[in-house]
Amino acid sequence: MTQTGDISVPAPKLAVEPAPADVPDSTRAVPPAPTDSPESIETIELVIEPRKGWIGVDWQELFRNRELLYFLVWRDIKVRYKQAVLGVGWAVLQPVVQMLVFTFIFGVAAKLNRSLPPGLPYSVFVLSGLLPWTLFATSLATGGLSLVNQQHLLTKIYFPRLFIPTAVVGGALVDLAVAALIFGLLLAVTGIVPTWGLLFLLPLLVLTLLVSLGMAYLLAALTVTYRDFRFLIPFMTQLWMWLSFVAFPPAVVEGSRWRWVLALNPMYPIIAGYRKAMLGNVPGLTDASIGWHWNYLLVSAVLSTAIFFVGLFYFRRTERRFSDIA
């Protein structure tokens, strides 16, 4: 109580909150309120610089983004067969229909089946060449137009551009695996039993992928700059098929002195190698009837590797212009 004259005024009472038991008696430090100042925000910068070297491919970047390549392949497969009644069955129907057409025209009508041994049906001969050829033809036709068809991706986001044509070849490889099951069934029906030559298919597949990827890279980069290749690619694909002797036996030119020119076509020895590996044990089948030569395959290996690196080199050299002219 305080007294001021005769009037007593009660002193005000101050309410003191007890400190928590786990807080010391000293003054507690209050953390500052969070601020949104630019200094408090951690930023991450992605610097895109041109690679040095003859080709300049960042292999580590490609390996780090390998999951993106998987999803691009899966997307191409889903888009290709989306809302299709047969779905992935089209991967089987296309080579089977071509096999039937070529068998009737060349095997029956032109009677070219006489150049094959009696134990080898003409349909099996044709389908054995259509399997690798379909992989290569898809790489030419679809891979060559892949960058033009994906303009919305090129101009909006950065990712390894090599993945676009590579995804097309990956999807064609899946189609090859599906069609190979039908070919195995056809071999079982006709009674042809493959031998140890099947082990030779893996190196042949590597060569097929090399020349397919090389042509896909080269044509994709050329099509972005020169749109005339959109009309040239279908014509090139058809002409290349006839020069590879997919639909008829090469025995008609094996006796010519100019047969060595066929070695300059990398797909001719590769297709002959597939037939040698899968049909080599058929009685009466000769190397001349399928166009098989070891020296031709060596030339094809050199050319396939050269095409791969040339396509990769040209793709990387022109890649910086894709977003501007796509």
pLDDT in tens, 201-232: 999 999 999 999 999 999 999 998 888 888 99
Strand partners, 3: 8
Domain count, the chain: 1
Q: Measured in Å, how far apart are the chain's first and last C-alpha atoms?
A: 91
- Tell me the backbone φ, ψ of residue 74, rounded to 5 degrees: -65, -35
Say yes or no to pLDDT of 192 above 80: yes
Quick one: pLDDT at residue 33? Answer: 55
Query: Helix/strand/coil (H, E, C) string of 3-59?
Result: EECCEEECCCCCCCCCCCCCCCCCCCCCCCCCCCCHHHCCCCCCCCCCCCCCCCCCH
Q: Does the residue 158 lie in any domain? A: yes
Rg (CA), the chain: 34
Quick one: pLDDT at residue 19? Answer: 47
Quick one: pLDDT at residue 56? Answer: 67
Q: Does the residue 31 lie in any domain? A: no
Q: Does the residue 261 lie in any domain? A: yes
Say yes or no to pLDDT of 1 above 80: no
Q: Does the residue 106 lie in any domain? A: yes
Percent of the chain with pLDDT over 90: 42
Q: Does the residue 43 lie in any domain? A: no
Task: Give the mean model confidence (pLDDT) for residues 107-119.
Answer: 90
Quick one: pLDDT at residue 104? Answer: 95
What is the pLDDT confidence band of residue 4, given thresholds at 50, 70 and 90? very low
- Enter the DSSP assignment of 2: E
Q: Cα separation of 279 and 124, whole Å?
A: 9
Which structural domain range is residue 320 located in? 55-325
Task: Give the mean model confidence (pLDDT) for residues 271-300.
Answer: 92
Q: What digits encode the pLDDT tens for the residues 36-84?
A: 555 555 666 655 555 555 566 777 888 888 898 898 898 888 877 776 6
What is the pLDDT confidence band of residue 254, given thresholds at 50, 70 and 90? confident
Q: Does the residue 21 lie in any domain? A: no
Q: Does the residue 24 lie in any domain? A: no
Percent of the chain with pLDDT over 70: 80
Quick one: pLDDT at residue 306? Answer: 97
